[in-house]
Amino acid sequence: MDKDINIKVRVWRQQGPKAKGHFETYKLENISGGTSFLEMLDILNEQLIREKQEPVVFDNDCREGICGMCSLYINGHPHGPDNLITTCQLHIRHFKDGETITVEPWRSAAFPVVRDLMVDRHAFDKIIQAGGYINVNTGGVPDANAIPISKLDADEAMDAASCIGCGACVAACKNGSAMLFVSAKVSQLALLPQGKIEAKARAKAMVKRMDELGFGNCTNTRACELECPKGVSISNIARLNRSFLGAKLSD
């Protein structure tokens, strides 16, 4: 059975993108181990509202690890200390009684803070808009089974496609690079016959947009792969580099 513990949370508070931020420390008592991390923040907010203070702002929505809305840098790790989960799937049982937990927003030049722990990840949408798709209109497409696809390719494409666009890779990277995010989409589509046709142009367009948006370069530290809640592999980055070089060479 889960035990109740007392904790302190050291939370980053920042009124707006240009405001100066600071840490505030709050005490929370009798939090059950089965409480999710975000439910703990709900309890904190309930406490703050009762004291007529403004609640801590943080992004969240599905609370089952798939929408990619929740973020948070917890004790120095994107999505906290556990592996292969998002913050909403992290539970208090991973922390010790009396522990002080430090909670920060994603920190990256490309993801400015909106308020407190909420950041602006529009840059990811803009990268996808540059070419993260196959150019087909609705209707007029062939039968779904017209082109067989090897199960291995389909499975590998699925693994790359499992990216939830949360931004943990960028937050984990000392260079603030979005290469894992970009390469996951490039790989997914390049692995499928439908997406192969535009693979080179896609890689070029997406990398170009990524560079324009202020993301850093990849120096193969593998921090992104380690912190990715969906276990997206850096072999995708190698694939992207190959496509990108190929595209540049054929220019």
Partner 1 sequence: MTKLEAKIPQGPLADKWTNYKDHQKLVNPANKRRLDVIVVGTGLAGASAAASLGELGFNVLNFCIQDSPRRAHSIAALGGINAAKNYQNDGDSVYRLFYDTIKGGDYRAREANVYRLAEVSNSIIDQCVAQGVPFAREYGGLLDNRSFGGAQVSRTFYAKGQTGQQLLLGAYSALSRQVEKGSVKLFTRYEMLDLVVIEGRARGIIARNLVTGKIERFAAHAVVIGSGGYGNAFFLSTNAMNSNGSAAMQCYRKGALFANPAFAQIHPTCIPVHGEFQSKLTLMSESLRNDGRIWVPKKLEDAKAIQAGTLKPTAIPEEDRDYYLERRYPAFGNLVPRDVASRAAKERCDAGFGVNNTGLAVYLDFSAAIQRLGLKTVEARYGNLFQMYEKITDENPYETPMMIFPAIHYTMGGLWVDYELQTTVQGCFAIGEANFSDHGANRLGASALMQGLADGYFVLPYTIQNYLSDQIGVPRFSVERPEFEAAEKEIENKISKLMSIKGTRSVDTFHKALGHIMWNNVGMARTKESLEAALKEIQALKKEFWADVFIPGEPNTLNIELEKALRVADFFDIGELMALDGVNRNESCGGHFREEYQTPEGEALRDDEHYAYASCWKFEGEDKTPELVKEPLVYEFVERQQRNYKS
In the region spanning residues 173 to 202, those forming contacts with partner 1, defined by CB under 8 A, are 188-189, 192, 194-195
Shortest CB 135 distance to partner 1, Å? 7
| Near partner 1 by CB under 8 A: residue from 20, 136, 174, 251 | 136
Residues 212-251 within binding reach of partner 1 (CB under 8 A): none
Report if residue 6 touches partner 1, rule: CB under 8 A: no
Complex with partner 1: residue 53 or 217, whichever CB lies closer? 53
Interactions with partner 1, residue window 91-130 (CB under 8 A): 91, 93, 114-115, 118, 120-122, 124-125, 128-130
Residue type, 19: A
Q: Does 150 bind partner 1 (CB under 8 A)?
A: yes
**Beta carbons of 35 and 5 less than 8 angstroms apart:** no
Beta carbon of residue 194, minimum distance to partner 1 (angstroms, whole number): 5
For partner 1, which residue of 32, 102, 221, 241 counts as binding (CB under 8 A)?
32
- Closer of 10 and 63 to partner 1 (Cβ): 63
Closest distance of CB 91 from partner 1, Å: 7
Looking only at residues 40 through 79 of this chain, which bind partner 1 when binding is defined by CB under 8 A? Answer: 42-43, 45-46, 48-50, 52-55, 57, 59-69
How many amino acids of this chain bind partner 1 (CB under 8 A)? 78
- Nearer CB in complex with partner 1: 20/174: 20
